[in-house]
Amino acid sequence: MNKTLYIIVLLLSLVGCKPTASVIVTSKEEAKSKGLYTEPQNTATLPKNNLKSTSKGIAETKKQESTKSKKTKISEPEDDYEPDNDGTSYFVKQLIHTALQYDGVRYRGGGTTPAGMDCSGLVFTVFKEFDITLPRSSNDMAKVGNKLKTSEIKKGDLVFFRTNGRKVINHVGLVTEVKDDEILFIHSSVQRGVIISSTKEPYYQRTFAQANRILSNELM
């Protein structure tokens, strides 16, 4: 009995001490095929297309931020002086340009500001901006300068009218353009405020009184 038990214990110890067969791997490919190696996954790496897209997005964002940070600058066109075909002087061009800035201003008796002005108020204000002081009323303005024939009228001259049915001059305008026998002038009318009208219009053709040259020939 003891001998049999001894034999069984001996056999069990021999089986437990049997060496395990070793696995030999000679390459990465062989390790992959045997399931012993797996390529590491780098989730932080972006595809090239995504990198380009991201870089472009960052650049656009920086450009937009840079644009927003810049102050908006309003610049006026710098047009050089170009002589008119009729030889209008630079001074007269500036005079007319100034008068046109009031186009659309409403009529106001005695007014001389953009809030409202009458006919002589418009002419008085425009010339005053060039340090030329004229009388305040159209009737008194008609007494200044030299009277002209219709054929002599040029840009920058003044045209006067009698619109009240009397002999007293009560309306004035500044000539802005001359077209053959038509004269365009800027003035302030009671109904429409500061506008450009024509001597071809029946009303002004009928009430026309005279034209005066206030400026010297050197300025014309």
Q: Which residues are catalytic?
A: 119, 171, 187
Q: Is the dihedral of CA 145, 150, 151, 156 positive or negative?
A: positive
Q: How far is CA 200 from the centre of its chain?
A: 37
Distance CA 131, CA 21 (A): 116
* Cα 143 to Cα 172, 180, 211, distances in angstroms: 12, 26, 11
How many other β-carbons are positioned within 10 Å of the β-carbon of residue 89?
18
What interhelical angle do 119-128 and 90-100 show, nearest 10?
130
Q: Select from 175, 178, 177, 173 the least CA-distant residue to 192.
A: 173
CB contact set of 215 (below 8 Å; sequence gap of 6+): 91, 92, 132, 145, 156, 157
The three-state secondary structure class of 182 is strand
